[in-house]
A and B are shown apart, each in its own frame.
Chain A
Amino acid sequence: MSMTPTPPLLSVRDLTVAFRVRGEDAPVVRDLSFDLHEGETLGIVGESGCGKSMTALALMGLVPNPPGRIASGSIRLGDEELVAAAEARLRRVRGARISMVFQEPMTSLNPVFTVGEQIAETARAHLGLSAREARDRAVEMLRLVGIPAPERRVGDYPHQLSGGMRQRVMIAIALVCEPQVLIADEPTTALDVTVQAQIFDLFRELQDRMNTAVILITHDIGVVAEMTDRVMVMYAGRKVEEGPAADFVAAPRHPYARGLVNCVPRLVADPPDVPEPLFEIPGLVPGAEALARPGCAFAPRCPRAMPVCGREFPPVTASPGGRSVACWLDAEGAR
């Protein structure tokens, strides 16, 4: 899919998001570049605080300001530049061409409005539908996301629905205007495992139907393997590895990505009496001040760190099959 010569739907170049902390700009996303093609699913993986959610908010034009802002870079959707676009223009993009499903279905819906109204108002805002048409559209969307008896549920309040149902409603809100890009920020983290599977099935089904490109933010390697076409690993605000999901899961390159994949416990047919201890990446996620230091942010935790790692951020090394990695171990001419 990445071989297709069509121009990407969404193109992010050198995106830097900075937060002003005690008078100084601390970058939380740095020089991030990636493309997203029509109908494709891109996974963004990393620990909490690695900048994946902030990347999503930047795409939506919703970086909390103050203290945050997009410091530099470009986000192009089709031929429209979104960085530094006027608020009124961004508003027409949000919810209509790019929409987002958040992590917490329990708190992401407004408790004082019916779910029908919360779907319908999005349709009214972007599609110019009448109140009546918007309500019909809300019922249709509820049916589409697999909520039983949608004619009745449309008048329910969020507290009358379970967590899984609420996330379905959030998906209905996100998809009501048939956006080109859907960003799902850990959409199933707050749900239990069986519901998780249902929600992912729903994503796949709707994506096939609407040909929506999906950015799936997760820290679950299993989800990456199952759901995504391509994956991008972020660490401390930077992209450290990118490649087709299957290749990546089979053989991650970057030491951090290897750690992530090794963290997943494996089911084995004939377990030894004493199970191997679960792999763990040593150390902690670096804080914002550590991100401003030169060099690779993972170096202090890296089992294979070299002197150069602490001095300079490694160049990105591309290899056949659409893979790339930012690590001195792969860099040409590295000692």
Chain B
Amino acid sequence: MIRTLSRRLLNAAGLLLAVLVFNFALIHMAPGDPVEVLAGEMGGATPELLAEIRAGYGLDRPFHVQLLTYLGRVAQGDLGHSFYYDQPVTGLILDRIGATLLLVCAALTLALLLGCFLGVVSAQNRNGWLSHLVTLLSLAGFSAPVFWVGILLILTFSVALPVLPISGMSSVDAGRMGPWGRAADVAAHMVLPVLTLASIYLAFYSRLARASMLDVLGSDYVRTARAKGLSRFLVVYKHALRNALLPVVTFAGLQFAQVVSGAVLVETVFAWPGLGTLAYESLLRRDSPTLLGILFFSALMVVAVNIAVDLLYRLIDPRIGAR
């Protein structure tokens, strides 16, 4: 167990290093000069001033020197300094990551729980109306672009039926509310972005859970469970579901990266103050240290989640890691 974990951590470190180098090179090659963007926002600058800014950020040095300097700093836990915000990138990210994690975790939990439930129910009566409804909804979920779903939800529930806030994470007067009031305020703001982000994954998980349950319900051990005279509830939710969960958990782990990138779109549509919005803004501003920092952080999260999923497997299926 500990050996597997340390091997996984070592792999993860190698992977993260590769991500850093690759992203750094990619952003270096991308067109657009951060210094010119900065100068533009300052209202123009002389070539001497440009050169000075460039030297100040070390941007005049050769590529490999810049890369090694950056890697050295990251190794010490310093993700650099934002050109635009003029503050440490780590601080910027830590300020925003809570909002993103809240969004991603809520959406993923909703998608997983509801997806598994719908999958199980529709697997039990595979030709019933509910099964067809789930198939239809998941097809819609697959095909609809996330931002479009978001805009549609805003138009429906914030404009036509003004019951939920349009965007942001809290109301303007949130400062005057008590702690519960503020929590309720954030919750109300979460509804639409979480629904939007969850919609596509809900579709995935309900299809996957349905297929997996159908497979498991036909297995010999489910027949044994029925032959024991167990109740239908125990047969389905104890004997079948636990086995059917494995592919769903695998998929959820693999998809976490996609959920994080999906969050970028959703955050942009709903002006959710998370990492996604920050990434989008940094990209437009050529704020490469911030962008690199966010990419690194996302990679870190994805790797961590995958290790967690591996450990979760062992809890669900005793056959894994028994050797």
Does A136 sit at the interface, judged by CB under 8 A?
Answer: no
Q: CB-defined interface of B290-323 with A at 8 Å, one 1/0 digit per residue? A: 0000000000000000000000000011110010
Specify which chain A residues have a CB less than 8 angstroms from the CB of B226 in the assembled complex: 62, 94
Q: Are B229 and A122 in contact (CB under 8 A)?
A: yes
Does A160 sit at the interface, judged by CB under 8 A?
Answer: yes
Q: Are A91 and B231 in contact (CB under 8 A)?
A: yes
Does B224 sit at the interface, judged by CB under 8 A?
Answer: yes
Does A297 sit at the interface, judged by CB under 8 A?
Answer: no
Number of chain B interface residues as a range = 20 to 34
Q: Are B229 and A121 in contact (CB under 8 A)?
A: no
Q: CB-defined interface of B220-259 with A at 8 Å, one 1/0 digit per residue? A: 1101111111111010000100110000000000000000
Set B220, B227, B231: member contacting A107, Cβ < 8 A: B220
Does B171 sit at the interface, judged by CB under 8 A?
Answer: no
CB B323 to nearest CB in A, in angstroms, measures: 10
Report A118-146 residues with CB < 8 Å from chain B CB: 121-122, 125-126
Q: Are A109 and B224 in contact (CB under 8 A)?
A: yes
Known: A108-B220, A110-B224, A110-B239. A157 touches B229 (CB 8 A): no
Does B87 sit at the interface, judged by CB under 8 A?
Answer: no
Q: Are A111 and B318 in contact (CB under 8 A)?
A: yes
Q: CB-defined interface of A55-87 with B at 8 Å, one 1/0 digit per residue? A: 000001010000000000000000000000001
Specify which chain B residues have a CB less than 8 angstroms from the CB of A159 in the assembled complex: 318-319, 322
Q: CB-defined interface of A6-17 with B at 8 Å, one 1/0 digit per residue? A: 000000000000
Known: A92-B229, A94-B229. A111 touches B317 (CB 8 A): yes
Specify which chain B residues have a CB less than 8 angstroms from the CB of A87 in the assembled complex: 232
Binding site for B on A (CB under 8 A): 60, 62, 87, 90-96, 99-100, 102, 104, 107-113, 121-122, 125-126, 157, 159-160, 170, 173
Specify which chain B residues have a CB less than 8 angstroms from the CB of A170 in the assembled complex: 224
For the complex, give the distance between the alpha carbons of A109 and B319 in Å. Answer: 13
Known: A62-B223, A108-B220. A94 touches B318 (CB 8 A): no
Specify which chain B residues have a CB less than 8 angstroms from the CB of A108 in the assembled complex: 220-221, 223-224
Does B156 sit at the interface, judged by CB under 8 A?
Answer: no
Specify which chain B residues have a CB less than 8 angstroms from the CB of A125 in the assembled complex: 228-231, 234
Q: Are B319 and A111 in contact (CB under 8 A)?
A: yes
Specify which chain A residues have a CB less than 8 angstroms from the CB of B220 in the assembled complex: 102, 104, 107-108
Does B219 sit at the interface, judged by CB under 8 A?
Answer: yes
Closest-by-CB residue of A relative to B228 is A95
Known: A110-B221, A112-B242, A160-B322. A100 touches B227 (CB 8 A): yes
Known: A112-B318, A157-B319. A102 touches B228 (CB 8 A): no
Specify which chain A residues have a CB less than 8 angstroms from the CB of B319 in the assembled complex: 111-112, 157, 159
Known: A111-B319, A112-B242. A173 touches B224 (CB 8 A): yes
* Among A87, A110, A111, A159: residue with most chain B CB under 10 A: A110
CB A104 to nearest CB in B, in angstroms, measures: 6
Report B176-234 residues with CB < 8 Å from chain A CB: 219-221, 223-232, 234
Specify which chain A residues have a CB less than 8 angstroms from the CB of B229 in the assembled complex: 90-96, 122, 125-126
A-B contact pairs, 24 of them (CB 8 A): A60-B227, A87-B232, A92-B229, A94-B226, A94-B228, A95-B228, A95-B229, A102-B220, A102-B227, A107-B221, A108-B220, A108-B221, A109-B221, A109-B224, A110-B225, A110-B239, A110-B243, A111-B221, A112-B317, A121-B230, A157-B322, A159-B318, A159-B319, A160-B322
Closest-by-CB residue of A relative to B245 is A112
For the complex, give the distance between the alpha carbons of A122 and B223 in Å. Answer: 14
Closest-by-CB residue of A relative to B127 is A66
* Among B221, B227, B239, B242: residue with most chain A CB under 10 A: B227
CB B184 to nearest CB in A, in angstroms, measures: 40
Q: Are B243 and A94 in contact (CB under 8 A)?
A: no
CB A65 to nearest CB in B, in angstroms, measures: 12
For the complex, give the distance between the alpha carbons of A155 and B224 in Å. Answer: 19
Specify which chain A residues have a CB less than 8 angstroms from the CB of B239 in the assembled complex: 110, 113
CB B316 to nearest CB in A, in angstroms, measures: 7
Specify which chain B residues have a CB less than 8 angstroms from the CB of A90 in the assembled complex: 229
Known: A91-B231, A160-B322. A102 touches B317 (CB 8 A): no
CB B245 to nearest CB in A, in angstroms, measures: 9
For the complex, give the distance between the alpha carbons of A90 and B317 in Å. Answer: 31
Specify which chain A residues have a CB less than 8 angstroms from the CB of B322 in the assembled complex: 157, 159-160
- Interface pairs A-B: 7 shortest CB-CB: A95-B229, A94-B229, A95-B228, A107-B220, A110-B221, A108-B220, A157-B318
CB A126 to nearest CB in B, in angstroms, measures: 6
Q: Are B318 and A107 in contact (CB under 8 A)?
A: no
For the complex, give the distance between the alpha carbons of A159 and B226 in Å. Answer: 21
For the complex, give the distance between the alpha carbons of A125 and B234 in Å. Answer: 10
CB B105 to nearest CB in A, in angstroms, measures: 26
Specify which chain A residues have a CB less than 8 angstroms from the CB of B231 in the assembled complex: 91, 125
Q: Are B318 and A102 in contact (CB under 8 A)?
A: no
